[in-house]
Amino acid sequence: MPYKANLAALKSLGVRHVIGTCVVGSLRKEIEPGTFVIPDQFINLTWGRDDSFDIDRQLIHLPMARPYCEHVRSIIARELGMMKMPCQAHGTVVVIQGPRFSTIAESKMYAYVGGDIVNMTQYPECYFARELGICYGAIATVTDYDVGVPSTISMQPESMKSVLEIFRSNTGKTVNLLEKLSAAAQEIKKCSCASDHFTEYYKSTIKSGM
């Protein structure tokens, strides 16, 4: 997936706020398929991905304590509430390398270390947004339980029909949500948290010669 090209293209067009979508598996029984999760943290377990713009060939230390824009997240949560959609307003997404799915042991480990959902694409997209000074929020839709959670709805051949039905239903609901978020664009634009972080840390990094 061309994460860097996608974000760079948006930046070149003057985009300052991005809401990404992703499909995820649940690592917790209480987060049922069909639920919308608004991530506020990620755990990156990928490797070998091109994950820095290396601006001006300088090593940039950017803060990622809160990788997702809280302002954008709050608006997503509000709109989901108004739509009366099943929603979890916080969640840690474990980003795995892929393209294979987890083993049972891996899935249990992801939950043990604090993961709520598992995905293959949230990193480095989320970080690129911060590096470019773009406010970033994500909408994660749960299609199934990961294999470490005992269930009849998981990425197994016998349950794929159910998973695909949930996926299609989630897709339609996501499109409706994005339409409502587009209508709230002016409110979303009131935040510039990523841009502020970028400016502050970029300047300090260059000044210190790091």
Tell me the per-residue pLDDT of 39-49, one tens digit each, with 9 for 90 and over: 999 999 999 98
| Maximum C-alpha span of the chain | 58
pLDDT value of position 1 = 82
- With a pLDDT cut of 90, the percent of the chain lying above it is 74
Q: Express each pLDDT in 127-164 by its tens digit.
A: 999 888 899 999 999 999 999 999 889 888 888 999 99
Looking only at the bridges linking them, the beta strands covering 87-88 and 117-119 are unpaired
Q: Express each pLDDT in 50-99 by its tens digit.
A: 887 765 556 667 888 999 999 999 999 999 999 999 999 999 999 999 99
Tokens 């199934």 belong to which residue?
144
**Least confident residue range of 15-24, 75-84, 201-210:** 201-210
pTM: 0.90
pLDDT value of position 137 = 97
Neighbours of 175 (CB within 10 A): 10
Closest CA to 97 of 43, 145, 39: 43
The active-site residue, picked from 40, 50, 54, 146, is 146
Instruction: Decide if 146 is catalytic.
Output: yes
- Once rounded to an integer, what is the mean pLDDT over residues 108-114? 98
State the chain's mean pLDDT as an integer. 90
Instruction: Decide if 144 is catalytic.
Output: yes
Polymer length in residues for the chain? 210
The active-site residue, picked from 40, 50, 56, 144, is 144
